[in-house]
């Protein structure tokens, strides 16, 4: 697979130099530790691991924080009392408070990433969030409103993360490796959930809920140090990259690079239906995702009657499957683009529909069965199907406007945060009795309906082609004619010639 992907680059390099480059690539492609873009993908994986660990920790911590505990009074009487006496509505506001801030900064994050670089902006975002996490236990005991404020600030700083990684990969990722490199980085978010949920449960039961915030906040600060030390904003700015890799990345992107920097075409962008297809898909996907992320531990403990350690572990299982399916989805989408007769638009729609349809059907089945083992299996399969969106709307920003991928991601994420705010609050009002399976069913049916809306809108309006408002017009007539014929970011090589070369070299 790696050899096939690199051939399109060699086609751009004439004569003996191209043959030598091809041979050098074949010899060195297995040395992952010497390939800077793979190292960045690994560190990006770690960053998104921390990002989701830091936002997920409260979903577990709130269970011991608000559960009834036996307290022995001074006269020897045993009474039941909560450390934090919050009703389900207050818990809904607390769980959603992260997103009050998160909704404010994705667009700003896209601008900052394009202005100052994705490396620096992401480092500040996760670094400050980690620091705020460390002081969370102290703040929570002072006042619930101050606690909500701290969570809101965490959301503000984490809100820049996705635009940063899109901006970074728009500079680092060769066109035919975009899905896999982006998917590898983003899959860290799911592994962060996988690890953090059971670890948080273990920390809460063995040391105390406060340790959840101390441990993960400290790890986040350590990651920030490593990111600053080992990542460059672009191949040209990376002092550790070798000439072979720099030449490969530069040549593979040669036909989508221009000398003129465009201003962000806000009006054209916001009138573009392919952009809105990404936004609607993102909102639909996030509704189901955030519903499970914030509510699944409580549902597992109260409705299905697992203990806290079991609830933390079982709640993480769906994201284990998702972390694998996301990487697979990205790789398969890249492969499918190379070998299939389908256009990029068709491939994005196929993968997105598979993802959303699978999630919708398994959520409905989980709500219908409402039994510990079958429901857990259905939740696992539903969440796993989300990984195929990595080949759908998840990478679509880079198809339609690679130069403005960070900005589009910022706009999409800003609106896609709304489910993170609304869903926990709505759940708090729907589920007044946390042991009532009938009330929980309503929550899951709502998520399934929203997935259906996402399918219809994305299939109707999505595109995989470079949009006219996102094109850079070069002064030369030849370049203008090439762009007018539809030379776009997903390969920029004649498909039949590329396929012929791939088949002869793999």
pTM for the predicted model, two decimal places? 0.70
- Residue 475: Cβ-neighbour burial (10 angstroms; 0-12, 13-18, 19+): exposed
Structure tokens at 267: 């009006």
pLDDT at 78 exceeding the cut of 90:
no
Q: Do 183 and 389 form a contact (C-beta atoms < 8 A)?
A: no
Structure tokens at 414: 């800003």
Q: Do 49 and 189 form a contact (C-beta atoms < 8 A)?
A: yes
pLDDT at 248 exceeding the cut of 60:
yes
Task: Return all residues near 426 (Cβ < 8 A) that are at least 6 apart.
Answer: 92, 443, 446
pLDDT in tens, 198-246: 999 999 989 999 999 999 999 999 999 999 988 888 888 877 778 887 8
Task: Return all residues near 264 (Cβ < 8 A) that are at least 6 apart.
Answer: 404, 407
- Looking at residue 500, its pLDDT comes to 32
Three-class SS of residue 476? coil
pLDDT in tens, 416-470: 889 989 999 999 899 988 888 899 999 999 999 999 999 999 999 999 999 999 8
Three-class SS of residue 168? helix
Across-strand partners of 71? 79
pLDDT at 58 exceeding the cut of 70:
yes
**Any idea what the Cα angle at residue 412 is, between residues 445 and 221, rounded to 5°?**
100
- Residue 258: Cβ-neighbour burial (10 angstroms; 0-12, 13-18, 19+): middle
Domains of the chain from N-terminus onward: 2-505 (1.20.1250.20)
**Separation CA 189–CA 485 (nearest Å):** 38
Q: How confident is the model at residue 1 (pLDDT cuts 50, 70, 90)?
A: very low
Question: Among residues 491, 497, 502, 504, which one has the least CA distance to residue 251?
Answer: 491
Question: Among residues 254, 241, 247, which one has the least CA distance to residue 25?
Answer: 247
Range with top average pLDDT, 283-287, 301-305, 317-321: 283-287
- Which residue, chain included where needed, has tokens 């030849």? 478
DSSP 489: S
CA-derived radius of gyration, the chain: 24
DSSP 474: P
pLDDT at 64 exceeding the cut of 50:
yes
């Amino acid at each position: 697979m790696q050899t096939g992907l690199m051939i399109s680059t060699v086609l751009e390099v004439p004569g003996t130099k191209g043959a030598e480059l091809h041979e050098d690539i074949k010899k060195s492609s297995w040395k992952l530790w010497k390939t800077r873009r793979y190292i960045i993908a690994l560190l990006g994986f770690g960053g998104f691991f921390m990002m989701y660990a830091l936002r997920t920790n409260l979903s577990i911590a709130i269970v011991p924080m608000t559960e009834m505990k036996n307290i022995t009074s001074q006269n020897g009487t045993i009474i039941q009392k909560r450390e934090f006496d919050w009703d389900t509505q207050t818990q809904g506001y607390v769980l959603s408070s992260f997103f009050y801030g998160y909704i404010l900064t994705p667009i700003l994050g896209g601008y900052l990433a394009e202005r100052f670089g994705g490396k620096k902006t992401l480092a500040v975002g996760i670094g400050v969030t980690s620091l705020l996490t460390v002081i969370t236990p102290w703040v929570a005991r002072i006042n619930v409103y101050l606690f909500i404020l701290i969570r809101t600030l965490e959301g503000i700083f984490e809100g820049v993360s996705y635009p940063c990684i899109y901006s970074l990969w728009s500079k680092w990722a060769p066109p035919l490796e975009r899905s896999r490199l982006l998917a590898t980085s983003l899959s860290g978010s799911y592994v962060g959930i996988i690890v953090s949920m059971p670890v948080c449960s273990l920390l809460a039961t063995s040391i105390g809920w406060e340790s959840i915030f101390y441990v993960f906040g400290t790890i986040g600060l350590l990651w920030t140090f490593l990111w600053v030390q080992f990542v460059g904003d672009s191949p040209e700015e990376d002092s550790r990259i070798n000439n072979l890799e720099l030449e490969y990345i530069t040549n593979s992107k040669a036909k989508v690079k221009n000398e003129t920097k465009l201003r962000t075409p806000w009006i054209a962008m916001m009138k573009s239906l392919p952009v809105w297809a990404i936004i609607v898909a993102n909102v639909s996907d996030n509704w189901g995702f955030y519903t499970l992320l914030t509510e699944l531990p409580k549902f597992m403990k109260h409705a299905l009657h697992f203990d806290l350690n079991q609830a933390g572990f079982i709640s993480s299982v769906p994201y284990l499957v998702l972390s694998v399916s996301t990487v697979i989805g990205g790789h398969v989408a890249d492969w499918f683009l190379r070998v299939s007769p389908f256009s990029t638009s068709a491939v994005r729609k196929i993968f997105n529909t598979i993802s959303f349809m699978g999630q919708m059907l398994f959520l409905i089945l989980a709500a219908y069965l409402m039994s510990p083992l079958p429901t857990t299996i259905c939740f696992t399969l539903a969440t796993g199907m989300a990984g195929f969106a990595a080949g759908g709307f998840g990478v679509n920003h880079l198809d339609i406007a690679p130069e403005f991928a960070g900005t589009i991601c910022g706009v999409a994420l800003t609106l896609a945060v709304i489910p993170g705010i609304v869903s926990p609050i709505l759940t708090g009002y729907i589920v007044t009795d946390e042991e009532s399976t009938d009330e929980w069913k309503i929550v899951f049916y709502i998520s399934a309906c929203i997935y259906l809306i996402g399918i219809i809108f994305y299939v109707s309006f999505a595109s995989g082609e470079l949009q006219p408002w996102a094109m850079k017009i070069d002064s030369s007539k030849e370049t203008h004619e090439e762009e007018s014929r539809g030379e776009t970011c997903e390969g920029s090589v004649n498909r039949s010639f590329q396929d012929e070369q791939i088949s002869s070299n793999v």
